[in-house]
A and B are shown apart, each in its own frame.
Chain A
């Protein structure tokens, strides 16, 4: 059974978001890393890039395929995680900790309301 931490919020496209003081940290869920299997390459957005909610702005690649990662919210990318570029397997081993991908300064905080709470996301992946 996939781990779905209660304190995070989720996009239908399997990204998680943690918002603290107007900054959102984004990664992919345990369910997503399990579906992708061994992550071998990660491409992150440029710091300073302005993205819209739902915009593809990172790529996570397994042996088999490349998957786009969508920003759950709009804003400016203020920080990326160089550790996952050096060690892509972190996305598999620590999807909610060392495997985070990028941080965004939210430009429309109300968008958070469009995302899923943990129980709703857990229900989505249980039905998948």
Chain B
């Protein structure tokens, strides 16, 4: 049974082309991926991210529990801030990557991937049962009760403050959403009801994400669209979300991350706090950080005209006797650069920037080069 977000009717009214994504019926685009991609890079776009999951973790032991369960150091947070973090198995394989926000002194909100809600919840539940002081901890899966949108792009700051009442009533103390710094989160009022607004996103652009009751999200969507249209805001689908994140090399669970891949291998070791004490997966991650990992995620771009790289395509070394050195996990035609780009895992010896490689599409090898991340960087 396919699931729909509370914005499904809104997508239909806008003529969105609906596809299946991780068990959800979601709009892949409304006009075209390139059109929506350019809107976000040059003006603004609004995305339905209501399919993502939300888990509330609260109680006197919430921080201690999360620091044992997640890789980043939750003690770096204060009320009204968030961090990117990962949840690993004991062997370091990634169960999910997520955002953790501290909403109140003893309340944390986890934003998890849509496709991972069930495994995450099962894992968190089992970890909580094994926790030393379960009576000081409450976990609540509020995924079905919450809706969310992301408003992304350089023009977002021109209108986002007109959508919400000021000042904030929870989280970071801010006069308006535009007063939030990157990774800060605050509660504002929308039509008299509370919404959480964070300065975060998945596009490489400045932007905000809004989480609120599922019943309120359509009114938020309509209001933001109405106020942003004059600033170039367009509704944007999952297609543009994927090209935007690929250009800036943000990992997507199921592509760059999975249970057989560690955060170190996937290049997100920065979000693994080995110095914070024991946590699930620590020993393997510490060992990889010290001794190196068997595979490494690299970004690449084609250096000649060729088919856009796609997940599963083989990566070959360059030179007279090419060897298969890895596989593409994300790839597309970059709308910003006009060439094929992607990410893939290769052997560490081939992972240095400027290493020439080849991407095989339908039996044809195309010249490419390993590049530093991100592949696309905004010109200032």
Q: Choose among B307, B332, B362 the residue that contacts A63 (Cβ–Cβ < 8 A).
A: B332
B142 to A: closest C-beta gap in Å: 32
Q: Which residue of A lies closest to B306 (CB)?
A: A41
Query: A118 in the interface, Cβ–Cβ < 8 Å?
Result: no
Contact residues in A for B307 (Cβ distance below 8 Å): 41, 43, 59, 61, 66
Mask, A56-70, CB within 8 Å of B = 1, is 000101111110000
A41 to B307, CA, bound (A): 6
Interface residues of A in 32-64 (CB under 8 A from B): 35, 37-38, 40-41, 43, 59, 61-64
Whether A37 and B33, one on each chain, are in contact in the complex, defined by CB atoms closer than 8 angstroms, is yes
**Complex contacts, A62 vs chain B, CB 8 Å:** 33
Tell me the complex Cα distance, A36–B81, Å.
41
B308 near A: Cβ within 8 Å? yes
In the complex, are the beta carbons of A38 and B32 less than 8 A apart? yes
Alpha-carbon gap, A62 to B335, bound state (A): 11
Given known pairs A37-B29, A38-B33, the reply for A64 and B362 (CB within 8 Å) is no
Task: Please determine whether A63 and B28 come into contact, CB atoms closer than 8 angstroms.
Answer: no
Contact between chains at A63 and B310 (CB < 8 Å): no
**Chain B residue at minimum C-beta to C-beta distance from A43:** B307
User: Which residues of B are found within 8 Å of A40, using beta-carbon distances?
Assistant: 308, 333
Residue B34, interface by CB 8 Å? yes
Tell me if B239 counts as interface (CB < 8 A to partner A).
yes
Is the CB of B156 closer than 8 A to any CB of chain A?
A: no
CA distance A97 to B174 in the complex (A): 57
Bound Cα distance A41, B308 (Å): 7
Residue of A nearest to B340 (CB): A41
Contact with A along B29-41 (1 / 0, CB 8 A): 1001111010000
Q: Which of A35, A37, A38, A66 contacts B310 (CB 8 A)?
A: A66
Bound complex: CA A70 to CA B42 (Å): 38
Q: How far is the CA of A43 from the CA of B123 in the complex (A)?
A: 46
Q: How far is the CA of A74 from the CA of B34 in the complex (A)?
A: 35
Chain B interface bracket (under 10, 10 to 19, 20 to 34, 35 or more) = 20 to 34
Flag whether B243 is at the interface (Cβ < 8 A): yes
**Which residue from chain A places its CB closest to the CB of B333 in the assembled complex?**
A40
B243: chain A residues at CB < 8 Å are: 63
How far apart sit A28 and B23, CA to CA, in the bound complex (Å)? 30
Tell me the B33-58 residues at the A interface (CB within 8 Å). 33-35, 37
Complex partner residue of A64 from B28, B35, B306, CB under 8 angstroms: B28
**A contact residues around B34 at 8 Å (CB):** 37-38, 63
Question: Is B333 a contact of A41 with CB atoms below 8 Å?
Answer: yes
- How far, in whole Å, are A78 and B310 apart by their CA atoms in the complex? 30
State the Cβ distance, B125 to closest chain A Cβ, in Å: 36
Distance of A38 Cα from B17 Cα, bound (Å): 14
Q: Nearest chain-A residue to B32 (Cβ)?
A: A37
The A-contacting residues of B in range 183-242, CB under 8 angstroms, are: 239, 242
Nearest-CB distance from A75 to chain B (Å)? 22
**Among the listed A41, A59, A61, A63, which residue makes an inter-chain contact with B239, where contact means beta carbons less than 8 Å apart?**
A63
CB neighbours of A61 from chain B (8 A): 307-308, 333
Q: Which of A38, A43, A61 has the most CB of B within 10 A?
A: A38
How distant is the Cα of A59 from the Cα of B32 in the complex, in angstroms? 19
Residues on B with C-beta less than 8 A from A66 are 307-308, 310
- Docked complex Cα distance between A61 and B307 (Å): 8
CA A43 – CA B306 in complex, angstroms? 9
Cβ-defined contact, B362 with A59, below 8 A: yes
Residues from chain B with a CB closer than 8 A to the CB of A41 are 306-308, 333, 340
Complex: chain B residue closest to A37, CB-CB: B32
CB-CB < 8 A to B362: which residues of A?
A: 43, 59
* Shortest beta-carbon distance from B334 to chain A in Å: 9
CB distance from A63 to the nearest CB of B (A): 4
Residues of A61-118 at the interface with B, using a CB-CB cut-off of 8 Å, are 61-66
8 Å CB contact of B33 from A35, A43, A59, A63: A63
A38 vs B239: C-alpha distance in the bound complex, in angstroms?
12
Give the CA-CA distance A43 to B361 in the complex, in Å.
Answer: 11
Min Cβ gap A118→B in Å is: 25
Q: Which residue of chain B has the shortest Cβ distance to A35 in the bound complex?
A: B17
Q: What is the bound-complex CA distance between A63 and B32, given in angstroms? A: 9
Given A40-B333, A61-B333: 6 more A-B contacts, CB < 8 Å? A38-B32, A59-B307, A61-B307, A61-B308, A64-B33, A66-B307
The 8 sampled A-B contact pairs (Cβ below 8 Å) are: A35-B17, A37-B29, A37-B33, A37-B34, A43-B307, A43-B362, A63-B308, A64-B28
